[in-house]
Amino acid sequence: MKKIALILSGCGVYDGSEIHETVLTMLAIEQHGAAYRCFAPNMTQHHVINHHTGEVSENESRNVLVESARIARGDVEDLNDLHVDEFDALIVPGGFGAAKNLCNFAIDGDNYTINEHVLAAGKAFAQAEKPAGYMCIAPALLPLIYPKGIQGTIGTDTGTANLIAAKGLAHCESPVDEVVIDPAHKVVTTPAYMLATSISEAAVGINRLVKSVIALIE
Active site residue 136: yes
CB 216 within 8 A of CB 188: yes
With H, G, I as helix, E, B as strand and everything else as coil, classify residue 99.
helix
Report the first-to-last Cα separation within the chain, whole angstroms: 12
DSSP 49: B
Sheet with 180-182, edge to edge strand ranges: 76-78, 35-40, 3-7, 89-92, 132-135, 187-190, 180-182
CB 110 within 8 A of CB 38: no
CA distances from 176 to 33, 51, 54, 155 (A): 24, 24, 25, 7
Locate all alpha helices (DSSP H) within the chain, ordered by sequence: 19-31, 64-71, 96-100, 116-127, 142-145, 158-165, 199-215
Q: Which amino acid would we find at residue 68? A: S
CA distances from 192 to 28, 121, 188 (A): 14, 23, 12
Residue from 38, 103, 136, 172 carrying the catalytic annotation: 136
- Please list the active-site residues: 136
